[in-house]
Amino acid sequence: MAGLLIRSFDSADETRPFPDGTGRLDLLETPGGPVGRAVFEPGWRWSEHIKPLAGTASCQEAHTGYVVSGRIKIVMDGGESAEAGPGDFLQIPPGHDAWVLGEEPCVAVDWTGYGNYAKPSSA
């Protein structure tokens, strides 16, 4: 087991800006795997801004995380949908779209799905 670890997302190991100034992903590499903080700006939508990088029809990452601030809508490929806001825990399987609701950035922390998120596809 690793010792005590305290890191700041403000000093991330990697920052991946989203296209068109729609936000960014701050990524920390930890002994337990990557942990990310995403800042999704108003107007951000996965199918518009990340889909070209991912090269898939919908987001194929599984997410386990927590919404710090703002609101987001998630729509699964099969039609199920939900909204999440501050204080909400998220567990989202692969196969979804998502977008920011309202005029406040949505900030979310994810410890399972951001390692490869918003990286250009290798295809």
Residue 98: give its domain's CATH number.
2.60.120.10
Average pLDDT for residues 49-77, to the nearest whole number?
A: 96
- Residue 35 pLDDT exceeds 80: yes
- Residue 1 pLDDT exceeds 80: no
- Total of domains in the chain: 1
Percentage of the chain modeled with pLDDT above 70: 95
Provide the domain limits for residue 76.
Answer: 12-110
* Residue 64, CA distances (Å) to 52, 100, 103 in order: 23, 18, 24
Q: Classify residue 7: in a domain, yes or no.
A: no
Q: Classify residue 118: in a domain, yes or no.
A: no
Q: Classify residue 40: in a domain, yes or no.
A: yes
Q: Classify residue 5: in a domain, yes or no.
A: no
Q: Classify residue 29: in a domain, yes or no.
A: yes
Q: How far apart are the first and last CA of the chain?
A: 37
* pLDDT value of residue 123: 40
Dihedral over alpha carbons 93, 99, 102, 108 (to 10 degrees):
50
